[in-house]
C-alpha cells in the first residue's frame, strides 16, 4: 500500500494542497492541531492570480457573484488601476480566510482527503524512503508513516523546525494593533485607509457586520508584548489620527509586526515547506494567503508525479527554484512598501517621485504584477518570452466556442493547445495523451503576431513550451519529456 502524503496544517495552503493531491488521485491526509476550524480571518481576500487558479479548478464559482470584489489595489497606499491588469479576473475577491478554508475543506473531502482536526505533530524522523511523524490527539499519541510531508503549519512551523529547515530574515521595525469589532457606528464612514505623520490607520469591512481596525504608530516599540485591548487600539488610533472612534464588541484583538522570514530551503529530504511556514512578512497588500495557495498549486502536481512514479528527474526540485524566488519577491515588495511610508517626514520626496513614475503604464503594470502575482514567470534565460507565464483567456489564446480556457485545466492534467489551425505537431503531443490533453484554440495578442503553432501548458496553468515553425525536430518531444515524463508507447 502506498504511504500517504501528510499535509500538516489546515489553513488555505494546506487545504489547497489537499485538493490538488486529491484531484490527482494521491492518498493524502491533513493533520491540523486545532480541534475545529478557526472563526477568525487573518486574510481578507485574494488577488487576481489566485482567482485564476481557483477558476482553473472550478472553485471560483463558490465565491462569485455573491462575494464582493474590489476593482482597486495599492502599493504602499498608492492607488493602482486594476483595469490595466490583463486577464479575466482584474479584481480582488473580498472573501475572508474563513470562507476560503470552508470552500477548500469541502472540496478536499469530496476528493477523498481526510482532515484530522485536533491532531498535532510532535515528532519527526525520516530516511530515504519515508517520513515518520509522531502525532498527538487528545491524551493519545500515535505514529504516522508518510511518503512525503508538507509543512503548512504557519509562521511558527513545528514541522520545519523538526526537519531542520532554517530561515533567514529581518527583525521587526514597526508593529500594528488590530481589532475586529462587531459594534461600530454604521452611519459614520469608517471604511478608510491612510498615512498620517505619526503612523498608518485603516478601517476595513472584512465581512458583513465585522469591521477591522488597524493602527500603526511609527516609533513605538515593535517588540512590545503588552496585551492588546480594545482601549489600547482606540488610544493608538487617537495618537495616530487625532480622531476618536467609537467601536465595541471585539471579536479578535492582536498585534502584527514587519519581521520578515524566508526559509533557507523549501525542502529537507522528504519534507517540504509551503505558505507561512516558508515565508513570513508584513501583511502589506494582503499577499500572504495568495502566495501560500500558489505554492500549493505549484507543488501539488509535481509531488503527485513523484508519488505516482512518472516524475522526470529534478521535477520536484523546480518547486524550490520557482517558488522560493516568488516568496523572496513578496518579502521584498512588502518591505519596500513599508520603506515608502516610514518615516513620513523623510520619505515624502520619494513618494512624490513614485507618484510621477506611476503615470508610466509599464511601471503601473509592473507593480500590479507584483502585488497580484500575475507577473510571476517561471521561465529561464533563453526561453521564449511566453514560457513560464500564466495561460489565461484573452492574453495568449481563446478556447474554441464558449468554453473558457480555465475549464480545460479542471482535470489537473497538462494541455497542448493547437493554435495553428491544424499544422502543429499534435501527433507528438498525442504520445503523452495519458497526461496531456490536446485542444484547438485561437491565438491572440503576441501569440497571434508571432504565428505560434502550439502551447504546452503545465497542470498549474503556466506555459511550459511554445511551438513555432522554426523549432528543430524533437524540441516539443524534449519539452513534453521534461515536464511529463516518458511517452506512452502503448
Residues 286 and 147 in one domain: yes
Task: Return d(Cα 202, Cα 222) in angstroms, integer.
Answer: 18
Determine contact, residues 222/258, Cβ cutoff 8 Å: yes
CATH assignment of the domain containing 439: 3.40.30.120
Percent of the chain topping pLDDT 70: 98
Which residues have a Cβ under 8 Å from the Cβ of 443 and sit 6 or more positions away?
A: 396, 397, 419, 452
Residues 87 and 235 in one domain: no
Residues 9 and 50 in one domain: yes
The span from the first CA to the last CA of the chain, in angstroms, equals 26
In a domain, 362, yes or no: no
CATH assignment of the domain containing 212: 3.30.70.2450
Residues 251 and 302 in one domain: no
Q: Model confidence over 338-366: pLDDT tens digits?
A: 999 998 888 999 999 999 999 999 999 99
In a domain, 149, yes or no: yes
In a domain, 380, yes or no: no
Total residues found in the chain within this entry? 490
Residues 150 and 289 in one domain: yes
In a domain, 378, yes or no: no
Task: Return d(Cα 11, Cα 32) in angstroms, integer.
Answer: 9
CATH assignment of the domain containing 131: 3.50.50.60
Q: Model confidence over 371-395: pLDDT tens digits?
A: 999 999 999 888 999 999 999 888 8
Residues 87 and 105 in one domain: yes
Residues 116 and 191 in one domain: no
Mean pLDDT of 282-293: 94
Residues 219 and 190 in one domain: yes
In a domain, 276, yes or no: yes
The crossing angle, in degrees rounded to 10, of helices 12-23 and 97-110 is 20
Q: Model confidence over 396-411: pLDDT tens digits?
A: 898 877 788 999 999 9
Choose one of 237, 257, 277: the last residue of a domain.
Answer: 257
Count: domains in the chain:
3
Residues 245 and 191 in one domain: yes
Half-sphere exposure of 434 (CA within 13 A, CB side): 11
Residues 55 and 145 in one domain: yes
In a domain, 351, yes or no: no
Q: What is the pLDDT of residue 191?
A: 63
Adjacent-strand bridge partners of 142: 135
Task: Return d(Cα 144, Cα 161) in angstroms, integer.
Answer: 18
Q: Model confidence over 109-119: pLDDT tens digits?
A: 999 999 999 99
Q: What is the pLDDT of residue 386?
A: 93
Q: What is the pLDDT of residue 393?
A: 85
Choose one of 257, 287, 305: the last residue of a domain.
Answer: 257
Q: Model confidence over 298-326: pLDDT tens digits?
A: 999 999 999 999 999 999 999 999 999 99
* CB-neighbour burial class of residue 477 (10 A; exposed 0-12, middle 13-18, buried 19+): middle
Residues 132 and 28 in one domain: yes
- Give the number of other CB atoms < 10 A from CB of residue 81: 15
Task: Return d(Cα 257, Cα 259) in angstroms, integer.
Answer: 6
Task: Return d(Cα 207, Cα 201) in angstroms, integer.
Answer: 19
Residues 154 and 271 in one domain: yes
Choose one of 212, 231, 257: the last residue of a domain.
Answer: 257
Domain that holds residue 440: 397-484
pTM of the model: 0.96
Task: Return d(Cα 80, Cα 73) in angstroms, integer.
Answer: 5
> Is 1 a residue whose pLDDT tops 70?
no
In a domain, 152, yes or no: yes
At 186, is the pLDDT very low, low, confident or very high (cuts 50, 70, 90)?
low
156-171 burial code (b ≥16 CB/10 A, e <16): ebbbbebbebebeeee
> Is 189 a residue whose pLDDT tops 80?
no
Per the listing, cell 481576500 goes with 45
In a domain, 384, yes or no: no
Q: Model confidence over 236-283: pLDDT tens digits?
A: 999 999 999 999 999 999 999 999 999 999 999 999 999 999 999 999
Amino acid at each position: 500500500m502506498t504511504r500517504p502524503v501528510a499535509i500538516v496544517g489546515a489553513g488555505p495552503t494546506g487545504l489547497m494542497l489537499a485538493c490538488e493531491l486529491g484531484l490527482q488521485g494521491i492518498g493524502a491526509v491533513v493533520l491540523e492541531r486545532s480541534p475545529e476550524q478557526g472563526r477568525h480571518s487573518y486574510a481578507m481576500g485574494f488577488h487576481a492570480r489566485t482567482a485564476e487558479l481557483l477558476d482553473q479548478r472550478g472553485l471560483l464559482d463558490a465565491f462569485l457573484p455573491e462575494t464582493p470584489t474590489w476593482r482597486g489595489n495599492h502599493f504602499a497606499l498608492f492607488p493602482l488601476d486594476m483595469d490595466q491588469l490583463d486577464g479575466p479576473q482584474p479584481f480582488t475577491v473580498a472573501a475572508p480566510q474563513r470562507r476560503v478554508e470552508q470552500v477548500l475543506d469541502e472540496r478536499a473531502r469530496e476528493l477523498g482527503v481526510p482532515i484530522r482536526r485536533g491532531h498535532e505533530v510532535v515528532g519527526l524522523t525520516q530516511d530515504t524512503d519515508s517520513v515518520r511523524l509522531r502525532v498527538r490527539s487528545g491524551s493519545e499519541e500515535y505514529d504516522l508513516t508518510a511518503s512525503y510531508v508538507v509543512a503548512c503549519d504557519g509562521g511558527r512551523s513545528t514541522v520545519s523546525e523538526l526537519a531542520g529547515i532554517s530561515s533567514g530574515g529581518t527583525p521587526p521595525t514597526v508593529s500594528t494593533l488590530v481589532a475586529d469589532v462587531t459594534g461600530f457606528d454604521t452611519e459614520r464612514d469608517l471604511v478608510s485607509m491612510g498615512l498620517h505623520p505619526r503612523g498608518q490607520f485603516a478601517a476595513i469591512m472584512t465581512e458583513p457586520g465585522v469591521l477591522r481596525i488597524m493602527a500603526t504608530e511609527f516609533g513605538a516599540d515593535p517588540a512590545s508584548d503588552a496585551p492588546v485591548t480594545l482601549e489600547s487600539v482606540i488610544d493608538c488610533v487617537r495618537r495616530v489620527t487625532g480622531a476618536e472612534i467609537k467601536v465595541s464588541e471585539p471579536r479578535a484583538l492582536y498585534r502584527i509586526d514587519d519581521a520578515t522570514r524566508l526559509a533557507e530551503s523549501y525542502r529537507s529530504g522528504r519534507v517540504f515547506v509551503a505558505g507561512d511556514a516558508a515565508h513570513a512578512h508584513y501583511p502589506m497588500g494582503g499577499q500572504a494567503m495568495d502566495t501560500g495557495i500558489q505554492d500549493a498549486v505549484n507543488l501539488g502536481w509535481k509531488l503527485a508525479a513523484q508519488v505516482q512514479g512518472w516524475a522526470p528527474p529534478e521535477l520536484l526540485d523546480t518547486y524550490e527554484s520557482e517558488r522560493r524566488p516568488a516568496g523572496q519577491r513578496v518579502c521584498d515588495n512588502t518591505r519596500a512598501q513599508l520603506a515608502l511610508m516610514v518615516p513620513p517626514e523623510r520619505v515624502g520626496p520619494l513618494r512624490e517621485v513614485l507618484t510621477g513614475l506611476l503615470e508610466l503604464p509599464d511601471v503601473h503594470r509592473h507593480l500590479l504584477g507584483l502585488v497580484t502575482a500575475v507577473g510571476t514567470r517561471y521561465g529561464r534565460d533563453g526561453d521564449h518570452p511566453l514560457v513560464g507565464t500564466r495561460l489565461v483567456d484573452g492574453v495568449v489564446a481563446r478556447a474554441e466556442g464558449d468554453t473558457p480556457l480555465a475549464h480545460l485545466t479542471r482535470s489537473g492534467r497538462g494541455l497542448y493547445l493547437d493554435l495553428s489551425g491544424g499544422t502543429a505537431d499534435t501527433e507528438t503531443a498525442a504520445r503523452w495523451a495519458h497526461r496531456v490533453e490536446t485542444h484547438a484554440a485561437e491565438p491572440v495578442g503576441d501569440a497571434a503576431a508571432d504565428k505560434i503553432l502550439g502551447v504546452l501548458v503545465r497542470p498549474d496553468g503556466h506555459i511550459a513550451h511554445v511551438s513555432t515553425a522554426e523549432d528543430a525536430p524533437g524540441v516539443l518531444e524534449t519539452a513534453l519529456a521534461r515536464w511529463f515524463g516518458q511517452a506512452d508507447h502503448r
